[in-house]
Structures are given as C-alpha cells and as structure tokens.
Amino acid sequence: MTNTTPGSVAAAAPKSLLARFVGIITSPRETFQSVVAHPRWLGMLLLTTVIAAVGTAAPMMTEAGRQAALDRQVKQMESFGFQVNEEMYARMQQGMGRAPYTTAISILLISPIIAVIIAGIFFLVFNAALGGDATFRQLFSVIVHAGVISAAAQFFIAPLNLIRGSMESATNLGVLLPMLEEGSFLARLLGMVDLFVLWWVLVLAIGLGVLYRRRTQPIAFSLLGVYAVIAICVAAIMSRLGGTH
C-alpha cells in the first residue's frame, strides 16, 4: 500500500460526526485523512461509548439476559481456576438485578481511560521510539475513531444476544467450530479471536498509517502479531488453570 502524503491529509475537508461514523466503516482511509487534519474526538468518544454501554447492558434487562450474564461470569472465573461455591453463586445472583446499570456505568467510565492508555502506548512507540511527529490529540482522535468498529458491533451483537438469551460472543472463531472440546487450549484460543476485533485492528492500522504516513500492511501485521501473542498466552493460562471439561 502506498504512503499517505502530508498534502493529502492537510487538504482533507472536515466531516460531520455522522459522516465520520459511517466513513470509518465504508471508507476508513479517506475518513482518517479528515480526522488527522481536523482532530475532533469528544463527540465521537461520547457517541461510541454510549452505544457500547447501551448495547452491552440492554440484554441484561431481561431475566434470560441476566442469567446468561451470571453464567458467563461463573464460566470466566472457573476458566482461571476459581471455584464458585453455592454461597458465592447466591451473592452474585443477588447482584444481577443491578448488573445492567453497573455494567453501563463501568463502560462509560472505563472506556475513555482505556482509549487514553492505548493512545499513550502508541505515542511512545511511534513518536518516542520511531521518531513520528504526530500530536497526541491527533493520535487520540485516531484511536477514538477506530472505536467506531467496536460500537458498530453492538448493532449486530446486542440484538442477537437479546434473541439468544446469551452473553457469549457470537462472533469469535470458536463458534464456528463447536465440535472442539470445551476448555481445551484450541477452543479457548479460537474463542478469543473475535471477528470484530480483527476488523478493529485493521481499521486502526489504516488510521495509524495515515497519521504517521506509513504503509498500512506492516502496522497491521505488527498489531495482529501482538493480538495473537496475547490470545495465545491467555488461552494457555486459562487452559492450564481451568483445565478441560
């Protein structure tokens, strides 16, 4: 892929909030050129965070959704070797009535912090280590706009979870291979590879390429490599601590 020239970024016209949201999905490179030239992030951060909070919490408004969320919590704890006894389960079950609200509030509070942390890491890598000249505001705007993919995922995942009465991801590779032994390393590994996360990584790579005037492909491969290492390590820990069922 070719580099983005400084002139093409500087000449990019500003886009409205809705145009940027749609553009990240349909034409990310052109949209990121506008984002870099006009780094406005607050409106997009509010929009994507609210969508993520509502989409995640909505299935928990039903009894089936709350039970599914509880089952998922128990399963996650057991996958790391924790044993949930009847007393612990009863306490967790009592707290599920507040789950939709606590979940939404947690996402509203934590998502901006995570975005700042991710932006800080990339600022150290691309600016401090690789000599990039982008401002933190530009980089943070790119990170926030890449979050459109995570927000857009809710339009697919939230209705599906409401219908299924389940909080388990329906977009990871493990769903495609249900014949794998539950709790095995391969099952856990594929369960961590989510199609929307892969899409987010590729879109983020495009945004970083536009911002730092670098080829997208090496950035994408590097990000996917980090994602793969994290997934392998977590899957190995979970399969060792949780064992197979």
In this predicted model, what pLDDT tens digit does every residue of 84-133 receive, in sequence order? 888 888 888 888 888 889 999 999 999 999 999 999 999 999 999 999 99
Amino acid, single-letter form, for residue 151 = A
> Cα(207)–Cα(87) distance, rounded to whole angstroms?
48
Instruction: Find, among 207, 201, 169, 161, the residue nearest to 188 by Cα.
Output: 169
Residue 1 scores a pLDDT above 50: no
Confidence of residue 166 (pLDDT cuts 50, 70, 90): low
Which range has the worst mean pLDDT, 16-30, 206-220, 227-241? 227-241
pLDDT of 240 reads 78
DSSP string, 195-233: HHHHHHHHHHHHHHHHHHT--HHHHHHHHHHHHHHHHHH
> Cα(237)–Cα(203) distance, rounded to whole angstroms?
29
CB 208 within 8 A of CB 127: no
More confident residue, 75 or 204: 204
Structure tokens, 92: 């967790």
Residue ranges per structural domain of the chain:
6-242
What share of residues in the chain are helix, strand, coil (percent, to 5)? 80, 0, 20
Residue 229, number of CB atoms within 10 A of its CB: 10
Confidence of residue 9 (pLDDT cuts 50, 70, 90): low
CB 142 within 8 A of CB 37: no
pLDDT of 191 reads 82
CB 146 within 8 A of CB 24: yes
Residue 243 scores a pLDDT above 70: no
DSSP 9: H
Structure tokens, 78: 């057991």
CB 10 within 8 A of CB 210: no
243 CB-near residues (< 8 Å, 6+ apart):
183
> Cα(126)–Cα(212) distance, rounded to whole angstroms?
8
